[in-house]
Structure 1
Amino acid sequence: MKILKQLLLYASFTVLLLSACNRAEIPYENIQLANKIDLMADSILSTQKLPGMVVGVWAPQKRLTYLKGKGIADISTQSPVKPEFVFRAGSNTKTFTVTMILQLVDENKLKLEDKLSLFIPEFHNGDKITIRNLANMTSGIKEYTATPGFQSIFNSDPLHKWTSEEIIGLIKNEELQFTPGTKGYYSNSNTIILGAIVEKVTGKTITENYQSRILSPLRLRHTAFPGGPSMPFSYIHGYETDQDPNVYDFDVSTYFDPSYAGAAGAIISNAGNLKTWVENLVHGTLLSREIQAQRFTGLPIPDKHATTYGLGMLTFGDGYWGHTGELFGYSSIMMHNPTTGATIVIAYNYQNQDNLPDNFYRKIVKLLK
């Protein structure tokens, strides 16, 4: 019996040893690189005094999987950021909206060279603007958030429920800023219009289209297009400055109705879902090869630091493609390199033009070279 017990103990020890060896052989265990990302993240939290962040870096060529929440998700309770928490993804929404437009092109329900006037006849100079111009930010249409009409309502009633028709009404009679197709200019108006076109062509709401065309097929269960200011799931609170311009302590998570951003910026998601999405986005999982190939052609947009803004996605000329997102209280970036397989997703729960996640992203890109 004593010998049998010794044999059983030896066998158990052998299994544990082999398990340990197997774990050591699993790729994606680059502790040294993970530590460097940790140090950079902690330094940004400290020096910029931002409440919190989520950082995800998946780099198979460097044997790295890194996903962490850092800092505070809710100042009032001092609860920490968890990596699975959702946040407002801002203009990353544009990648979803334009993808649905391209799906409709694949389905022969519209063409990239169709004129805007075909869908919104009353739009001034709509016969000069194509669907392609709207999708790659070359339409010349003014930014609706800069109009006095928008700012008046937005400032007096932050919970105002906006419709795409109302937003389009703010800019449909305005002169174009340049001849469509000749210049890149980032305007949220473009994607609001594309969202309205999706609804008109399909006869379904933008929410229904997101769900059936993208979220359900890719099982993005922590991504949603909200119908109001409330946040689904466990979420990271978003902050802006209030009395002290150096302190982010004004909780704006549900202060505004996100309908003001609509199809251009209202989607909610988390880092894991955005990883899945940006990888499928760049590889064209939901589109034909012919249409996907056209996504990578466009013009530079200097104010976004984009060397190319293609059809609903951008690049900084570093081999990565994806998008950035900014909304009151939140800023984020999701990028994927189709050559190396690396993906980077970063979200902050504040918005500061001098310290966007783009800066952190560039540092990580250098680490991965």
Structure 2
Amino acid sequence: MRPTCSSSLSRRAAVTVLAALMTLSVPVTTASGAAVDGPRHRPCVSSPHPDGGPALDILRIAEQAKTEMDLKSVILRVTVDGREVITTALGESMTGVPAEPAMHFRNGNIAIAYMGTALLRLVDEGVVGLDDPVSRWLPDLPNGLGDRITLRMLGASTTGLIDYVKSPAFGPSIYADPFRQWTADELLAISLGADLLYEPGTNWSYSHANFVLLGAALEKITGKPLDALLQQKVMGPLGLSETRNSFTPDIPTPVLHAFTAERGTYEESSFWNPSWSTAPGAVQTTDICDLATSAVGIGSGELLSPSAYQEMLNPGTVGLGTPTKTCPETICIAQTEATHYGMGLLVLNGWISQHPLFFGYTAAQAYLPCEHLAIAVSTTKGPNTPDGHTAQTITQRIAAALTPDHPIPDFG
């Protein structure tokens, strides 16, 4: 059974009507002014400037946030029942180059949700079980670890492996050479060479190492490269034509350029190497229209059986995540039924979400199944942008305006 909302339907009805009107009665034009037919295969372009209603509320939220947080760009798209409410781009990609919805940006840990969905599709197909030991496909993990951890633990991040990103030397290494190409073996050596935070399956703590291992396991299970597997199992079926992996720091054109002062000087960071961020084959770029479509497809469990969808929303992490004495800086929080980690994604007060942040890019995809509401946001930093996840902040503000009974809480 899919989730249902207990809030009033009047707000959703208003947004749905607006979305239907925009989809059916407003002609779409390209930047050159040429008309294109129909909503289904339209290019990723800004919708007409709203005259009122929820679309205008969303635009004002974005404009205020851009000014308040000194953002270089804000790109967003909101849909209800798959119909556009608003798509817009504010600010610049580079000086003198306006941001546009079709520009590509890095989607970071959103690809982890694709790995979780791919795993669950294999479970639906009877190829694997979530509680199969990882040693079946990765027999060379040290200290018999492969016999102690399962596919479920990798997807739900309950293995007890430390997060290599949080190791003391890792951050300085990244900033000393942001163009370095990291290998999976180099990354895993950091996490596998340290003591476990806890016995596998008894707690929760986010670790990038879990998803590097999951990517390797998925390749062994299927005999396919991870990028090809995710295309076959997730991006292709969802129609994510602008979402793709790259084994280099390249970003397809048009590019949404990123800037950051993380090394002390405000500088371009668009092509810093993201090879450390997740499993090889899942280091992806996307655009805002694909991100909104992804929010719907992943958040609704479109590709999954009802039982697999329930596993995605709660693979056993509710009640886990109490802080561990061995690593007080680990991102561990007390879990509740309303806020917990799913299978490669977050469940936040009913919202199915992911929100990457690195190298000057932030993005967020969020879907509220009971309202069929999707929010996708991408931002880049200005010289004085404060620390924090600006795309997620904007997403939270939009959610609060459209569904006040279902706000998106903070996580970590």
1:140–1:88 Cα change, 3 Å: same
Describe the superposition over 1:237-282 as per-residue Cα deviations: whole angstroms up to 9, x where unpaired.
Answer: 111116867xxx411001x222211338721111111111221112
Residue 199 (structure 1) shift? 1.3
Q: 2:105 aligns with which of 64, 70, 87?
A: 87
Residue 151 of structure 1, CA deviation = 4.5
Verify the 8 A CA contact 1:195 1:206 in the aligned structure 2.
Answer: yes
Q: State the 1:328 CA deviation.
A: 1.1
- 2:46 aligned with 1:51: no
Measured against aligned partners, the alpha-carbon deviations of 1:269-314 in whole angstroms (never above 9, x if no partner) come to 1111111122111222222222222111133669588711111121
Percent of paired sites with the same residue: 25
* Aligned mate of 1:118, from 122, 126, 136: 136
Deviations 1:295-341 (A, max 9, x none): 11133669588711111121221x22121112211111101111111
The answer to whether the aligner puts 1:136 opposite 2:159 as a matched pair is no
The counterpart of 2:220, out of the listed 178, 195, 200, is 200
Distance 1:133 1:35, change over 3 A: same
Distance in 2 (CA, whole Å) between partners of 1:344 and 1:87 is 16
Number of the residue aligned with 2:348: 316
| Equivalent residue in structure 1 for 2:366, among 335, 345, 367 | 335
- By how many angstroms is 1:169 displaced? 2.2
- One-letter amino acid matched to 2:274: P
- Which residue of the other structure, out of 90, 114, 118, is the alignment partner of 1:96? 114
Q: Distance in 2 between matches of 1:60 and 1:220?
A: 17
Aligned Cα RMSD in Å? 2.9
The alignment covers a number of residue pairs equal to 339
Which of 210, 216, 224 matches 2:236?
216
Offset at 1:353? 4.1
TM-score w.r.t. length of structure 2: 0.75
Q: Is the 8 A contact 2:362 2:389 kept in 1?
A: no
Aligned: 1:278 with 2:295: yes
1:143-154 → structure 2 map (5 Å cutoff): 143-147=163-167, 150-151=170-171, 153-154=173-174
TM-aligned CA deviation for residue 210 of structure 1: 1.9
* Closer, same or farther: CA 164–107 of 1 in aligned 2, 3 Å: farther
Q: Which stretches in structure 2 are left out of the alignment for 5+ residues?
A: 1-20, 27-46, 323-330, 404-412
Gapped regions of structure 1 (runs ≥ 5): 1-18
Which residue identity lines up with residue 174 of structure 1 in the other structure? Answer: A
Please report the TM-score for the alignment, with normalisation by the length of structure 1.
0.83
The structure 1 residue matched to 2:394, chosen from 357, 360, 368, is 360
Q: Deviations over 1:144-165 (max 9, x none)?
A: 1233564565344332222223
Report the secondary structure of 2:233's partner residue.
Answer: helix
Query: What residue identity is the alignment partner of 2:118?
Result: M
Q: Which residue of 2 aligns with 1:266?
A: 283
**Structure 1: which amino acid aligns with 2:87?**
L
**What letter matches 1:192 in structure 2?**
V
Alpha-carbon distance between aligned partners in 1 of 2:194 and 2:51, rounded to the nearest angstrom: 54
Mapped to 1, the partners of 2:157 and 2:388 lie a distance apart of 24
Aligned to 2:268: 251
1:3-22 correspondence to structure 2 within 5 Å: none
1:291 lines up with 2:323 in the alignment: no
Whichever structure has more helix as a proportion of its residues is 1
Which letter maps to 1:267?
A: Q
- 2:359, 2:91 → 1: CA distance? 19
Q: Secondary structure at the match of 1:260?
A: coil
Q: Check whether the contact 1:97–1:263 (CA below 8 A) recurs between aligned residues.
A: no
CA pair 242-191 structure 1, distance change in 2 beyond 3 A: closer
Change (3 A) 1:242 1:330: closer
Distance of aligned partners of 1:229 and 1:214 in 2 relative to their CA distance in 1, 3 Å threshold: same
One-letter code aligned to 2:125: E
